[in-house]
Amino acid sequence: STVLHAEALAKTYAEGKLRTPVFDGLELSVSAGETVAIVGASGAGKSTLLHLLGGLDTPTAGEVYVAGKKMSALSDAARGKLRNEALGFIYQFHHLLPEFTALENVMLPVLLNGTTVPDATSRAKALLEAVGLGQRLEHKPGELSGGERQRAAVARALVNRPACVLGDEPTGNLDEKTAAHVFELMLDLNRAHKTSLVMVTHDRRLARRLDRVLELHEGKLRELAPEEV
Ligand code: ADP
Ligand code: ADP
């Protein structure tokens, strides 16, 4: 089944008289459990695409379907609910709330679903243990290392068992060794839960590990053959 589908997707940024067409007529389908890398030069529109897929921005034309639901047909509240339940987000910077502990940060998306505190606590704990942060539950982001913060962000992205995780350079802010570790962990967890992954990366070594590599170039998505990656 298809968890994420973009149809005839177009985006043009307009600021006053300045118009920046990024792409027009993009098609993308991601099936359950599939992992997809999006590569391309800086400014090609990778972040724009990810924002549209995640419902963080609205397309100029075309449609995005998340878990079969047409995003543009939903109210803001319903779209927010779908994003929280069906998608997980990991960014280059962790975006953990600084005043909250690792456990509280990971519990938050679960509580937003209306899950009880004991259930949210046990699910958040289990995921933090899975990412190797079982001994860091009460640490605030400022008390964690960079790799630990990204691992907490991975736990937060997965805690609602989303159909798909969207990652924008999720390991881009880490040194090479830590990045490789966090990436492997994310991939293992995604595979274990059959969660799809769409990840923007400039790191071809990471891209190569995913099922498909798509290059965004001059407004078009093209699948790269393994030897091109
Ligand atoms: P990438 O992630 O591949 O580096 P982006 O999606 O960030 O590319 O940007 C694609 C193009 O859209 C660039 O030309 C960028 O300058 C432009 N752009 C991105 N965000 C905005 C915005 N909020 N307003 C105007 N132009 C933007
Ligand atoms: P790294 O070796 O990855 O750079 P750090 O040296 O920043 O990591 O931290 C090492 C360990 O110490 C981490 O596991 C982190 O959780 C813990 N730690 C770092 N800073 C604090 C702090 N202010 N309070 C409590 N624990 C901390």
The model's pLDDT over 140-174, given as tens digits with 9 standing for 90+, comes to: 999 999 999 999 999 999 999 999 999 999 999 99
Per-residue pLDDT at 7? 97
Please name which ligand lies nearest the alpha carbon of 60.
1
List pLDDT tens digits, range 166-215.
Answer: 999 999 999 999 999 999 999 999 999 999 999 999 999 999 999 999 99
* SS3 assignment for 32-67: CCCEEEEECCCCCCHHHHHHHHCCCCCCCEEEEEEC
Per-residue pLDDT at 133? 96
How many angstroms separate the alpha carbon of residue 209 from the centre of ligand 2?
A: 30
Cα separations in angstroms, 219 against 88, 166, 229: 25, 20, 19
List pLDDT tens digits, range 35-75.
Answer: 999 999 999 999 999 999 999 999 999 999 999 999 999 99
Per-residue pLDDT at 94? 82
Listed residue (174, 154, 175) closest to 166, CA to CA: 154
- Count CB-CB contacts under 10 A for residue 167: 26
Per-residue pLDDT at 150? 95
Ligand 1 atom closest to Cα of residue 47:
2
Rounded average pLDDT over 91-105:
94
Is pTM beyond 0.95? Reply is no
What lines the ligand 1 site, CB under 6 Å?
A: 13, 15, 20, 22, 40, 42-48
% of residues, the chain, pLDDT over 90: 96
